Amino acid sequence: MPRVVTDSPSLHPIRSPWAFFQTLSMTGLVLGFLCFYIAMTPMLLPRSWLVQAVGSGVSGAIGYAFGKLLAGCMDLGCHLCAQRKIRLAAKYRLAIVILGIIGLGVMTLYHWQVMQAMRQLMEMPNEPLWMAFAAAAIGLVFWLALVAISRWLVILTEWLVNLIAPKLHLPIRALAWVGASILVASLLFGLTRNFVWRPALQTISQKALALDLTEPDALNAPTSPNRSGVDGISAQPWHALGHFGQRFVSLGPTAEDISALTGRPAIEPIRVFVGLNHQNPITAEADELVAIALQELDRTNAWQRQHLVIHGTTGRGWVEEYSSLAAEYLTNGDIASVAVQYSYLPSQVSFIVDQEASSRVNQLLYQAIKQRLNAMPQADRPKLYLAGESLGAFATQSNFQTYEQLIGEIDGAVWVGTPRLSHLWSHLVQMRTKPSTETLPIIDGGRHVRFMDYPEMLSSQGHPQGHLYQNWQTPRIVFVQYASDPIVWWSPTMLYQRPDWMREAAGRDIARVPMWLPILSLWELSLDMPASNNTPPGHGHIYRHDAIHAWQAVLDTNTPSYEALAAAIDQRVDEGIAERDD
């Protein structure tokens, strides 16, 4: 006779905390505690207590869900084979929880010690031990809350099943379960989308737009015709440049500033910036923005300069100030810099909303400038360079597909904190010479492209595999990236594949090589990303002075000296009250 499925006591509504505890899956608890512990093993950066608590709680919930699923699959297998179900004795549930909490205390101590080592390595202030235990306790409560929420979702699904197919045979009831689960999942997705994600995105968008419409307090509109944003002269007025565009055109040095540092005659650098159309900023036409940029380059006679740099902006339009200023001082002002804003949203949000926007604008700008340069006599053309940090690096690198194309079309580049999602970055790293590493690869003997996490890495004496270097020739291209920068190493393939950098020795500024586990490692690396902009310079996603070293190498000059140049740029940025965006 076919088996009739009745309600399981484990699916009844939770009447008390003890009843809830009694229905917890034993296998789920074991895997949940294991995943909770794994979340407490740091990846690349020290985390705040709040991020650690949320990360541990979610990891514990994921482990519990897998354990619950595993137990269910085992029960189904036993049923199909007419075998007795495999069960851990319920009387051990309390013992498992007690041992899990004891293990949690041990892991908290370990977590705190590793975090202290990471903070000391990065010269960050120590965190008291009680904060680590508070994060663990909050994470444990959050884990239980997620399990309780999921339990009520299961109860809702069971109620729908009983409504649709009460007391029916297994095949029909299984189909009912599938249908009810899809219905509940659709309902949850709709509620989350309409009442969480959309309001959050709207809030972020409104705040980002408000910032873009706010003028920097410490800076004034330029009056020099060599800058964009001069009312009555430029193609766009000052207010149209946006917050970070206004910073860019106002922070540029004068000829006198450069001469005071170098002791040589100089000219004022040209800075061209094109802001969004704030009447319709999301759908601004890329070709319209590029046309304005060309108009500004024509107006300022940028084609007459010896050097021309295309700067990729981040999501909000920010141009890395240390990079742009270093290039201007090192070229004695005989340089024109151009950047086009494609969004006012933070980089992460901009990439999610329209990941092609940054590449589309920069490709059109690059192609238009190359077309103009190719129409000029070769002897009269300015040298063309590309630069960018983070999403700005990703955007400008989208112009190239291969190593040969890269070194054949430009005269140099400085790319800082390139996301691993860049096709060019991945292509170059894959063609590295063995035994060079993924974190510091050597490409074609370092003849044109070199990677650095500190300046000595650019020389054969400072690189661990420096004997593989050949003579450095033009064009020179430098990638600056830190072992502790999660934005560089984040990749969806970590869900199922261990990356090479996790097989290599620990980098300069990480305390230990993190362990790779499917799914969880990507989740943990994602938890490090909010902290990447809060580290001291030289770690995480804060590069600053290393852009100076990179430009010195690309331009093959040490005049002015690094120390003098770093001090001058620090002073200039501080006067402008630098605002890091993303």
Q: Residues 342-346: what's their mean pLDDT?
A: 86
| Least confident span in 5-14, 109-118, 492-501, 510-519 | 5-14
- Per the listing, tokens 């595993």 go with 70
Please tell me the pTM assigned to this model. Answer: 0.89
Alpha carbon distance, N-terminus to C-terminus of the chain: 65
**Enclosing H/E stretch for 385:** strand 383-389
| Least confident span in 156-170, 285-299, 313-327, 385-399 | 156-170
The CA distance from 30 to 34, in Å, is 6
pLDDT digits (tens, 9 = 90+) for 199-250: 888 888 888 888 888 888 878 899 999 999 998 899 999 999 999 999 999 9
The CA distance from 31 to 66, in Å, is 7
333: its two tokens: 């002002």
pLDDT digits (tens, 9 = 90+) for 240-282: 999 999 999 999 999 999 999 999 999 999 999 999 876 554 4
Please give the pLDDT value at position 58: 92
Contact present, 7 and 492 (Cβ < 8 Å):
no
The CA distance from 336 to 328, in Å, is 8
Q: How many CB atoms lie within 10 A of CB 298?
A: 13
511: its two tokens: 């305390």
- Per the listing, tokens 């949690």 go with 104
- Ramachandran category for residue 356: left, alpha or beta (phi over 0 → left; psi -120 to 50 → alpha): alpha
Q: How many CB atoms lie within 10 A of CB 255?
A: 16
Give the torsion sign (CA, 72, 77, 80, 83): negative
Q: What is the mean pLDDT of the chain?
A: 87
Report phi then psi at 384, rounded to 5.
-105, 125
For the ranges 286-295, 406-415, 514-523, the one whose mean pLDDT is highest: 406-415
pLDDT digits (tens, 9 = 90+) for 489-528: 999 999 999 999 999 988 888 888 888 988 889 999 999 9
pLDDT digits (tens, 9 = 90+) for 348-363: 787 777 778 888 999 9
48: its two tokens: 């705040």
Work out whether strand 449-452 and strand 383-389 pair parallel, antiparallel, or are unpaired.
unpaired
504: its two tokens: 């290599």
pLDDT digits (tens, 9 = 90+) for 516-573: 988 889 999 999 998 898 899 999 999 999 999 999 999 999 988 999 999 999 998 8
Spell out the residues 6+ positions from residue 72 whose beta carbon is closer than 8 angstroms to its own: none
DSSP state at residue 193: I
Report phi then psi at 559, rounded to 5.
-120, 120
